[in-house]
Structure 1
């Protein structure tokens, strides 16, 4: 069993908790901008460290006045907005535990999370969310209060807490130790009921401090700032929030993904975090926009993309030559600078997590002036356990472990981890907890390998390995990731368990389809027409052929089918972190799968 580890860069916390960074920031640098929030007119407004502390303590006092006790669980159901961070920190100040709920959760999911966590209160964003809570209230006898952000409940709580003494709140806050529970995050797992991952203050505090030291070139750069747009109910965004709080990095929030492009242009972050699909959409959108502008612009973009990739690859093999440098400079003026401007003009780095980005896309963005650091982690590891460093990048890997984290590869290829970020266990589920620990190591369920330089590469998901009728083991993820890179393809699900060959279900991207259609003489192209259109099917076949070129013949896709609907979170086919619920898809599309083998 090969093991790699990184030594601590910052000692582990022996006292204090996540609230200390908010108090210290206000005490030592009260005028520093901690957060920028959008006002009613859409303008970004600065919130100083002192202002943020005042708002947090006011809300925390309201929670105390409402009867929230130390250790109580409080649900939080909202989009990614300023009030999410405000409420999260206020819950910690009151000595309580935050239980995030995705704002897209069904009534059944919400009921399970609030019931299993024994939440005594729940803060929701909208009246619709409040209605969802009301619909399952009979199942939640322990739930006393529901407060709605959009109905002014936070202001009401602030007013109700005015008689709570500063000393009482401070006593509660200071009583919280690193080993106390900070949050219970329910996995958005692709199978079964979500399990509550118990995470302590130390998990986020120690990991954030050490990550801050490991990627200081990004986080400690003058004026470092980021825009959060992934769901804060997800551990990835939640970790970045902790990183911003502990590292004194200014953050902003985008609640609606439709506003992301305009928010990036006006907020102007220096680094961002996203899932691979976001980066793929940025690339595909730029490519199709160039195609829509005519053959010349399309040719320029294709040449610029090839140059960016070549320039990035050359940086790993001795550096680009003079001709490539000159071409790169030309395309920087024509293409890359405009792409960076769409991201606000100041972004130099990005962190990608939640799945593999793909080497071609990584090289393109680095060549275009945006270094994307791939990371890897799980809810059970408080998000990242490994991430590339600005000065230690190996494209195609997720980098070395973060300081204080040990990674090993078991005999069967499974990735094992132990260290400062590994969770305490699943709430109310000792059996499931015991199943995922082996001799002190957390078993991730993912497959990987460690190269000679100590970099981790993810190769697949253990439970998703397909075994064909001929006994061939096939990892579907690499094929699916390659297919999803095509502009026409939204999702891909490779099948073939106990079948004579590998096949695939594809769903079309409803946003890119009409753009592709307009660029290919098919204006108004819709999914119903496209899935039977010979030219579309030929284009999809080319995408399948390209994916097949990366694997052996026995692993290659022999047939594919196009679904009538996209796979989305809304129809239950994707998790909130946009992972395919493979079992759900297979159950819903039995006939389509059978047709691939008829």
Structure 2
């Protein structure tokens, strides 16, 4: 199949009206006591925020922004982790027709300069003093930047006070001027291959995207029929995925809270306290939950039962998938009995670690291993994998609630068309496709073709319209023997090993394929402890023969997926991970291939010495 269109219903085809902030006012008018958000107080306890309370805060902040000179069409940057105030600023700025420019909190001074300069930002909101100092180092080159507000310095209260004298009508006059065509945000791409480009996304783009997801996947928001839907947002709000969740939660009246830290020590307690009914995450989160459960089982001397439970969960979900597609009878009686036993012993504990109420989740951002998806489904948490880009306002495809096909990113969302070009590139068309790149008509012309978005990703469509992503056009390696190799499938399989953190495959214009591998330090510490080995220095650890054997197993497993000419011939374990601080990862944790190969050019050369 070369093309698949998921037609929208008559209701879904209705053009959106107004702007994103209208949802805040509609919710407060129709159900003022509805619990719209959860917010942590100073004691770390979650408290409810009603629709009416949130509207009043949005209005108060919007008045303060107007009083401080922010005008319709102005661009205002936000540099912060995921927190309540970001959502408050988003909707206050959208209320008065301003455009939000999100900046990752880990961005360097030069990255900040480029985005603030290119977007001609007039005001900026930062989280704390370190961010303020980062921008202060380049502020002399930003003549348009007039003011800087700091969240941790109580800027919200200051703005409330600044606008208190204004009448609410001035806010509503601005809101009435916002249309679906108005620009909502300019989100800069991660920049894996060059300087970040500003994706211009309209209010209509977000409304189309959020409403399509709500209508098609609303059933998965709940843990059981009739309960109140809730989710904990821990994705970066600087990323389009996090922003889409924020918008969809308010439009779908899903109670949500914010969690600024992705590491397990902070995230798991908040999942337990907030108890969401579903979550939206990247595969990394699910990998961490799985690996944490596995390590705990090993520490408790229950490694063998755990692995058996994993095997049963995978087989159980696989059998259910086959039945859903009419190619199998479903789980056998024996498999159902084993599954019931392990549900009490293992699966219930995995669900408890995620808050206890989660039965569904959505995953995007990168590819999820099929076996991992099957495990979670067998353990009682159905993960719906999807695919999208900043340029498509997050999800363009996702697995439908009725029939998941594990290992694929599903079908087009309602109203979206997917086309696979002759060279294998995935093209998208729909109301979620962005307006173009800010100040970059050349890149826009290269990417948009009569409304079709050329994604740069390679993929294939099966006979049912399910999309599988196979790689990136710009990441295809060509060996000196002329063999084209897509590195993604090899890297993902190597990363499946619990000891591996990252893997990058090299071999462009080289005689064969090789790899650089970094280690998951937490997993390695556990591995050493379980074997009674002392913890050596990182430079010594990479030469541990037993550790090298483990990584070799991961490489051998990866090589089973490809031909001999495409297989990894040799590898090297590195002492340190690739980090954003060293310029080797994007803020969304994607590998910067050219930067890594340059930083480790001596190690790469060593892979090809005879």
Normalization by structure 1: what TM-score?
A: 0.98
**Alignment map for 1:132-531 (pairs within 5 Å):** 132-219=134-221, 222-258=227-263, 259-294=266-301, 297-317=302-322, 318-531=329-542
Aligned to 1:64: 66
Q: Does the 8 Å contact 1:392/1:399 carry over to 2? A: no
Q: Does the 8 Å contact 2:542/2:548 carry over to 1? A: yes
The reply to whether residue 13 of structure 1 matches residue 24 of structure 2 is no
CA deviation after TM superposition for structure 1 residue 288, in Å? 1.7
CA distance in 2, matches of 1:534, 1:278: 30
Aligned to 1:2: 2
Q: Secondary structure at the match of 2:411?
A: coil
The reply to whether residue 594 of structure 1 matches residue 599 of structure 2 is no
CA deviation after TM superposition for structure 1 residue 410, in Å? 0.2
CA deviation after TM superposition for structure 1 residue 513, in Å? 1.2
Q: Secondary structure at the match of 1:479?
A: helix
CA distance in 2, matches of 1:527, 1:307: 37
- RMSD value, Cα: 1.1
CA distance in 2, matches of 1:309, 1:519: 26
CA distance in 2, matches of 1:101, 1:381: 19
Change (3 A) 1:507 1:84: same
CA deviation after TM superposition for structure 1 residue 526, in Å? 4.9
CA distance in 1, matches of 2:14, 2:595: 42
Q: Secondary structure at the match of 2:157?
A: helix
CA deviation after TM superposition for structure 1 residue 12, in Å? 3.7
Change (3 A) 1:388 1:530: same
CA distance in 1, matches of 2:111, 2:233: 24
CA distance in 1, matches of 2:403, 2:293: 29
Normalization by structure 2: what TM-score?
A: 0.96
Q: Secondary structure at the match of 2:412?
A: coil
Q: Does the 8 Å contact 2:71/2:97 carry over to 1? A: yes
CA deviation after TM superposition for structure 1 residue 439, in Å? 4.3
Q: Does the 8 Å contact 1:254/1:260 carry over to 2? A: yes
Q: Secondary structure at the match of 1:111?
A: helix
CA distance in 1, matches of 2:15, 2:147: 34
The reply to whether residue 89 of structure 1 matches residue 91 of structure 2 is yes
Q: Secondary structure at the match of 1:593?
A: helix
Aligned length in residues: 596
Aligned to 2:563: 552
CA distance in 1, matches of 2:51, 2:181: 26
CA distance in 2, matches of 1:570, 1:267: 32
CA distance in 1, matches of 2:522, 2:102: 30
Q: Secondary structure at the match of 1:119?
A: coil
